[in-house]
Amino acid sequence: MAVPSRLTSPALHRAATRVEDDLASGAPDVARMFRQCLLNTMDSTVSTLPDGTTFVITGDIPAMWLRDSAAQVEPYIRFAADDESVRTMIRGVIRRQAMYIGIDPYANAFNEGPNGNGHQGDLTAMSPWVWERKWELDSLCYPIRLCKRYWDATADRSVFDDTVHQALRIAVATMRAEQRHEASPYSFVRPDAEAASDTLPFEGRGTPSRYTGMVWSGFRPSDDACAYGYLIPANMFAVVVLGHVEEFAEHIYGDAALAEQAASLRAEIDRGIQAHARLEHPVHGTIYAYETDGLGHHNLMDDANVPSLLSIPYLGYRPATDPVYRNTRAFVLSPDNPHYAVGRRASGVGSPHTPPGQVWPMSLIMQGLTATDTAEQWDVLATLADTTAGTGYMHESFDPDDPSRFTRPWFGWANSLFAELVMKVALS
């Protein structure tokens, strides 16, 4: 395995120093945490490979998740225009993600090379390149979002090569195929699954669903199986990124066919969301469900992992002031959400992926990133600084009564998100 590249970015270090200086008197703990969380991905999870691409591990798992790797480097994009080392690193991530999508658009996590690491015993079309083949719609959305953010920041056309073009075509074709999952080739069974959420029922096909225009997903961004196959936040994310595909197809590749395919698919998914995902809650009014199946069933919950209902404005689907989002947010941040936990040190959204009653720093960060009130953002930052168990890093989850009880000591995605929130508050 390649060693971390230890890239030196003057722009990142200048930003860390500026934020430390600005926050030193009012929020010194946040200031110290910002530097180490901002630099965590660059210093410890990024490897430059001989082909010039960039391999990014999640932290304590030595594989590259399409979702996590995009999210881990996203806070660096604001520095890319002025820092060649950042541009080179992010271009390398985009190109490696595009290569992986070409290998298998249904996989969520990949090995550095065809070494056969990971869950090779799963009953699905595994490859030695693939660490895990859980089909998650957001795994195709995050690389497209990264392309868009990078393009907007740098206007660098060089990243849009033939491999990226083909990856965009494959992403659209895969989403189109999963609108009608009953005809899809995808199935997944983990014979040695320790939990039902690690495999799909009905011989690996998942619970029954009916066509809605939305895209079926086997698993959530937590890597847990969906209860109902139409994961609403992931479909909202797809609506947003398909707009980016249309832009790239028209203005960079001159690919009218891809632009039309992306536009029509985008409209179909959005109609499906509006027709099948909204419902009336007795307390909160009109809200979005987390999952549905097109057969009349809805899953009313939210999960800390992004895309989530809480993250709708962060995804770019609706603004934070949208009335249905406001209602949904009120539901998510209340005991009506079965995965909302309250403790002496923190309150927030958890996940069935971790023990009951745990709060995820990621959900607290997303609460801050989508807040319209600066006071709420500072409250979130104070809570995050108070619940690291002295490590100064974000964890996967923690006990809100005793933060020393936590899961995953090294979780790059959450560290990057924390840095993103601090920059939104301190550098805006």
Q: What pLDDT is recorded for position 2?
A: 52
How many whole angstroms separate alpha carbon 38 and alpha carbon 372?
23
Q: What average pLDDT does range 186-192 have in this prediction?
A: 97
Q: What average pLDDT does range 105-133 have in this prediction?
A: 98
> Per-residue pLDDT for 1 more than 70?
no
Tell me the sheet residues that pair with 55. 47
Helix-helix angle 374-386:361-369, to 10 degrees: 160
Structure confidence by residue, pLDDT tens digits, 391-414: 999 999 999 999 999 999 989 999
How many whole angstroms separate alpha carbon 218 and alpha carbon 410?
26
Closest by alpha carbon to 283, among 330, 244, 238, 230? 330
> Per-residue pLDDT for 100 more than 90?
yes
Q: What average pLDDT does range 10-32 have in this prediction?
A: 89
Q: What pLDDT is recorded for position 376?
A: 97
Q: Which residues are CB-contacts of 223 (< 8 A; sequence separation ≥ 6)?
A: 108, 132, 134, 136, 353
How many whole angstroms separate alpha carbon 171 and alpha carbon 261?
11
Q: What pLDDT is recorded for position 427?
A: 78
Q: What average pLDDT does range 309-325 have in this prediction?
A: 98
Q: What percent of the chain clears pLDDT 90, i.e. is strictly above it?
A: 91
Residues 173 and 102: beta-carbon distance below 8 Å: no
> Per-residue pLDDT for 96 more than 70?
yes
Mean of the per-residue pLDDT values of the chain:
95
- By CB atoms closer than 10 A (0-12, 13-18, 19+), residue 185 is exposed
Band of residue 9 on the pLDDT scale cut at 50, 70, 90: confident
Q: What pLDDT is recorded for position 428?
A: 67
Q: What pLDDT is recorded for position 175?
A: 98
Write down the pTM of the prediction. 0.97
> Per-residue pLDDT for 421 more than 90?
yes
How many whole angstroms separate alpha carbon 383 and alpha carbon 27?
12
Residue 161's SS3 state is coil
| Full set of structural domains in the chain with CATH | 10-426 (1.50.10.10)
Q: What pLDDT is recorded for position 7?
A: 62
> Per-residue pLDDT for 3 more than 90?
no
Q: What percent of the chain clears pLDDT 70, i.e. is strictly above it?
A: 98
Structure confidence by residue, pLDDT tens digits, 273-312: 999 999 999 999 999 999 999 999 999 999 999 999 999 9
Q: What average pLDDT does range 45-68 have in this prediction?
A: 94
How many whole angstroms separate alpha carbon 422 and alpha carbon 40?
15
> Per-residue pLDDT for 143 more than 90?
yes
How many whole angstroms separate alpha carbon 239 and alpha carbon 270?
6
Structure confidence by residue, pLDDT tens digits, 350-380: 999 999 999 999 999 999 999 999 999 999 9
262: left (phi over 0), alpha (psi -120 to 50) or beta: alpha
Q: What average pLDDT does range 67-95 have in this prediction?
A: 95
> Per-residue pLDDT for 178 more than 90?
yes
Band of residue 155 on the pLDDT scale cut at 50, 70, 90: very high
